[in-house]
A and B are shown apart, each in its own frame.
Chain A
Amino acid sequence: MTGTGTSAEAEIHTPGADPPRRALPPVAAGFVAVVLVAALLAVLPLCPALRTALPWGVLLGGDPARPDPGEWSRVAVLALLYAGCDRLARGRGSGGGVRARGAEPAPDPFQGPWAAYFPVLLAGVVLLPPSAAALVALPGALLAPAEPPRTTRRVWNAAQLGLASCTAACVFHALGGTGQPELTRFPGVLLPAGAAALTFCAVNGLLVGGILAAAEPGTHHRLWSHVLLRCPGPALGHGLIGLMMAVLWAGPYGVFAAVLLLLPLTVSTWVFAQYHLEHAAHQATVRALVQAVEIKDEYTREHSERVGRAAVLIARELRMREDRVASLRVAGTLHDVGKLGVPTRVLRKDGPLTDDEYQAVALHPEYGHEMVRGIGFLGEARDGILHHHERVDGRGYPHGLAGDAIPEFARVIAVADAFDSMTSTRPYRRGRPLNEAVAELERCAGSQFDPAMVDALVRALDRHGWEPVVAGDASAPDIPLGPREPSVRSAAGGSGRPIGAQRDPAGQRRGAACGRPPRADPLRDDPLRAESLRAESLRGDPLRDQPAREQR
């Protein structure tokens, strides 16, 4: 949604992004081939004859003088478990109907249903010699549903998971974790097990990062740091669970006890999937709320969601906590929801608003606050909705707060709202270029907007860019944002308050963010009227419906 997430959204173990993509680029195909050969070489020592013949045979295949009779049955049970669980997790994940695509920022490779059963692989790493450990993922990877090119993906997954397991097992055995008596020696066994889990994660991450870089150059640059920085935690967790399975299995209670350990994991995966379904449903509900407003106020189509997006850009720039960002996103999206309480004919009126009508419009932040009051998760964002028409100079509404008295969220939403209003095309005027809108925001920083928020938005735009709405209506007049004339004081207020723009005789409308000098105008002496006129003339623009402070 905010430019994060989409890149890493592709399933990590099935690289190659979109289904229609047919052939892998030659580099990627070569990479797959190399990994496949390496995996095959790792598995070869399983054959007792080759174990002595190959130089790495004893290292990977275990000591031929001490064959383990239970080895094959363990491989079979683990492989079956992994295939079954993986199947279950994937089936639930994709079969649930609504899928929250892009809802979550950047999932990591150790999350998501397909990674939930890595502990089974890691149990294999601990229990089996390296060659055998490489086989555990094989049936699961080959049977897993995959997008075309199906065979390539499946073989690739089997090979890369096998190679990762094999390397991890080598590390485990090299650090002295071999043999059953050592397994129960706590906490000594934790070191080799942890090292093995980290190795598994690193090899898996590097291979996956490599194939993604080869298959889709440029799109996955974030992935590397992601794989290397965020994996260790979950990897250690999964390693621990794998070790516990192995401990229970090696003990007197056998595989039954080991399977019991998978129950909490399965419950977690199930709940995780439920969470995603519900999260998607929640987003749809928020959208429906917005749509209800847009039925009434069709000028603002999709405006709300873009305000939410711009607010998130600002919030990230200000390094807000993720939960605050999430609630700010929803608050930005819902900032105009109170317009539901404004009579439709007022919202759609094509002409100057009367005082009464004007006041009805100015009530919308309070209506909005009333509506979202019950949504606990929005927290302080509810005040953001209530105060998003306040100005830092204190001339906004509903409460006329000034400066830092205005909640931070409200200051963010005000800037995001103004920015999107200026850059998007409306039926009565074409959207302005970004640089003009930014210049206008900067000009009004300090009077209408919090300069810190404007700066944050400008920095975010530099970094991430912004896609303004595609001009759907080419007939919209192209009106510049307004001349940069010095402000003229209003005769009536005496407060030095600049008043708004006037409607052009030709019926053209202008958009500008803050005070604009009026020409000779009969309404000049009536600030409220002048403001309301401007509110009308700037419908949908940042200053639209900014009432005069004299109202209070």
Chain B
Amino acid sequence: MRGLGTASAVRASAGALLLWSALAVALNGAVDLRVAAAFGAFMVVGELVRTPLPGDRQQAPLGAAAALAYALLGSLGGLRTHHGVAQVVLLCGGAMLLGLLPSLAAGVRLDPDLFARRILTVAVAAALFQPCYNSGMLDRLHLPGPVYAMLLTGDAACAALVDVLLAAALRSERSRVPPGRAVRDELAALVGIGTAIVATGMVVSLAAGEIGLWALPLFSAPLLLSQVSFRRYTAILATQRQTVASLARATEVAGYTLPGHARRVASLAGRIGRELALGERELLLLEYAALMHDIGQLSLVDPVPGGATALLPVAEQRRIGQLGSEVIRQTGVPPQVAETVALLAEPYRRADGRRDPGVPRASAIIRVANAFDDLVCDDGCPARQREVLEQLRQDTALLYEPAVVDALGRVLLAGAGG
């Protein structure tokens, strides 16, 4: 498969880099051991305090910043340093391994791609800076301080860009996200903690030139603060998601829908949404709406038989959608979610045959996912799925948007294949 190729290429190149750096350091010997030890210790600590970030991203901001700082380190406390690219890569790799040992011992599943990404990114930053510095070229230019700082910024920005591209490529193959979409998502994530990491890495390397190794603990403190904020934010995001899922389960507990219906529709809608290149934020809102799409049924006196709203008359579906959106409006999720649910029963296109721009993509997706789950019932065998898919294709004139049904077909095919 093509996707597997990207991941293994990234890992292989990172491994090759590590091997090369180990060889190079072994041949030429390590220099400035005290400095290396201090930065290495900081990278290890940074790895130990890694934190989950929104959007299923795992990061060790402190470790990344320390590695970047070492890659961009010129003078230290007014004295020259002499470490080269190989030493930077080796130190970064070794420190990461050391810092990850406790997690590995505890049986936490770690993503080797993260490791590979960090190695490659740091190597790029170091390769752009260290040869120029060590050869004395930068000194001969006699750059004024601010220009030198700008130069470092450009270097760090290049490294960050490489990281974004790698992350996007890996994400795109893993979650079947179109590459363009993945790049946009990763860029958006970079604006958050990414800028803080890059800025801290640069500031540490600049300040180390002035005040020596004191720069390490001092100048990474603000980043630690950001990391704590991010941790809290991620935690509340997860809690909100779980609470919405609980609310969705209300209809099941109350006997209005079949067990697991909301969860299945949400998962299917999510896969279709990724197939259709929705962004991360849109996917989250889609998930909320899919989880709560049946919540309007709580207001019904008698449960719909089997909870299958797809078979109800349109007027009734519309009413349930409206009732649901009123409940959702009070839940504190963004207003688009309520709108999506309110418009669930609207035909996707107008009488003149054009797509109705008023009906959100998410509504069309949930409608298809819901109908599919209602019709398949518990029978998950591929034959029945194909049958239902054909049934949905018959109704694409008004009810189900053809592009969404096609995406569903691709999702089912991928599910059967993988």
Contacts and interface: CB of A to CB of B under 8 A. Distances in A.
Interface in B114-167: 144-146, 148-150
B247 A289 contact: yes
Given A186-B212, A376-B239, A285 B332 contact: yes
A98 interface: yes
B388 interface: no
Contacts of B233: 271, 274-275, 278
B148 A288 contact: no
A5 B361 CA distance: 42
A254 B254 CA distance: 65
B243 A241 contact: no
Nearest to A291: B330
A81 B206 CA distance: 21
Interface string A255-271: 01100110111011011
Interface string A279-292: 11111111111011
Contacts of B250: 289, 292, 337, 340, 371
Given A253-B149, A264-B196, A292-B250, A275 B210 contact: no
Given A278-B236, A292-B247, A284 B199 contact: no
B298 A292 contact: yes
A267 B299 contact: no
Given A267-B195, A271-B226, A281-B240, A292 B327 contact: yes
Contacts of A337: 246, 250
A282 B332 contact: yes
B170 interface: no
B246 A289 contact: yes
B236 A253 contact: no
Contact of B196 (A253, A263, A274, A284): A263
Interface of A: 98, 184, 186-187, 237, 240-241, 244, 247-248, 251-254, 256-257, 260-261, 263-265, 267-268, 270-272, 274-275, 278-289, 291-292, 295, 337-338, 340-341, 343-344, 367, 370-372, 374-377
B195 A282 contact: no
B214 interface: yes
B228 to A, nearest CB: 8
A329 to B, nearest CB: 13
Interface size class of B (residues with CB under 8 A): 35 or more
B351 interface: no
Contacts of B298: 292, 295, 340
Interface of B: 144-146, 148-150, 192-193, 195-196, 199-200, 202-203, 206-207, 209-212, 214, 218-219, 221-223, 225-226, 229-230, 232-233, 235-240, 242-247, 249-250, 253-255, 295, 298-299, 301, 327-328, 330-333
Contacts of B328: 288
B210 A282 contact: no
B239 A264 contact: no
Contact of A265 (B219, B222, B249): B222
- In the A-B complex, the 4 residue pairs with the smallest Cβ-Cβ separation, listed nearest first, are A284-B332, A252-B145, A281-B332, A263-B199
B239 A271 contact: no
A268 B149 contact: no
Nearest to A255: B146
Contacts of B223: 264
Given A256-B146, A286-B243, A374-B246, A264 B330 contact: no
A79 B209 CA distance: 27
A549 B48 CA distance: 51
A376 B247 contact: no
Contacts of A237: 221, 225
A248 B218 CA distance: 12
Contact of A340 (B235, B253, B301): B253
A483 B222 CA distance: 64
A186 B214 contact: yes
Nearest to B259: A370
Nearest to A269: B229
Contact of B148 (A241, A253, A344): A253
Contacts of A286: 243
Nearest to A187: B214
Contacts of B207: 244, 247-248, 251, 257
B150 A256 contact: yes
Given A186-B214, A267-B226, A271-B192, A261 B199 contact: yes
